[in-house]
Amino acid sequence: MHRNLLLLSNSTNAGEEYLGWPRPYIDNFLRKFSVRSVLFIPYAGVNLSTESVLSSYNVYEERVRGIFTGFGVELVSIHHSSDPRAAVKKAECIVVGGGNTFHLLKLMHETGIMHSIKEQVRQGTPYIGWSAGANIACPTMKTTNDMPIAEPESFNCLDLVPFQINPHYLDANPQGHAGETREQRILEFLAVNRNSIVVGLREGCLFWIEGGKIELKGNRNLRVFRHSQSPAEYEEGAALDFLMKE
């Protein structure tokens, strides 16, 4: 399987411009694969200030297009296409934005692009995803942080990597908070899905994946969870190829 993936925990760090911190990585990734145009998947976007979900997609498209224009790359959103699966097959690069993972997954299954994207990316089409867009690169969406505002036909995702990502991973347990921490939620998942590996991808970090090689990039460590084992921390430059073993 020949995969070229850029999987980001988040789009924007607090106090920064939209897609500010990952711009150098995205630019380098696009240049590496000589990408001149991208197909954007906006289905995770649910904008509270717009009149309809379709309007949300238009707003999202314009916001992301403004960033990619700065890379010298054309961006077109899939929601304008009368044949989404055909659009995927023609795409030079596929970009999946963040937002609500349940809503994203529902639309990807309904339009039939889940299988199409999986097929194209496994053949080498570059893929960029942040937050929900990184989550759906996993076997399932079961390690999302989102509320189920929509009901997808399945939790099964693209299965481009053999492990699970928890985007926006937080170590904090806020004072006065009596609910479960993020770590406890992940351990609950592993108690039921014991053969899985979950990576807590902290904000400001990403995975750069080519083929079977995976690199952590960013200014924070990665946290790896396995059932019945203590969580392990890995820094940028650490050997992580074990995560790609099927």
The string of pLDDT tens digits covering residues 64-93 is 999 999 999 999 999 999 999 999 999 999
Radius of gyration of the chain (CA): 17
Give pLDDT < 70 ranges for the chain: 1, 47-52, 54, 173-179
Residue 39 sits at the vertex; the CA angle it makes with 118 and 30, to the nearest 5 degrees, is 90
146 given a catalytic annotation: yes
Look at residue 46 in the predicted model and tell me its pLDDT: 83
Containing 234, the helix (H) or strand (E) segment is strand 232-234
* Per-residue tokens: 72: 């010298």
Look at residue 171 in the predicted model and tell me its pLDDT: 85
Residue 73 and residue 88: Cα distance in Å, rounded?
17
Strand order in the sheet with 37-41: 74-77, 37-41, 94-96, 127-130, 4-8, 205-210, 213-218
Residue from 11, 56, 77, 131 carrying the catalytic annotation: 131
| Residue whose token pair is 């609910």 | 179
Look at residue 56 in the predicted model and tell me its pLDDT: 85
Residue from 9, 56, 116, 146 carrying the catalytic annotation: 146
Residue-range domains of the chain with CATH: 4-244 (3.40.50.880)
Residues 6+ positions from 43 with CB-CB distance below 8 Å:
57, 79, 99, 103, 104, 106, 107, 108
Look at residue 246 in the predicted model and tell me its pLDDT: 75
Residue from 81, 109, 159, 168 carrying the catalytic annotation: 168
Q: How far is CA 26 from CA 6, 44, 59, in A?
A: 8, 20, 21
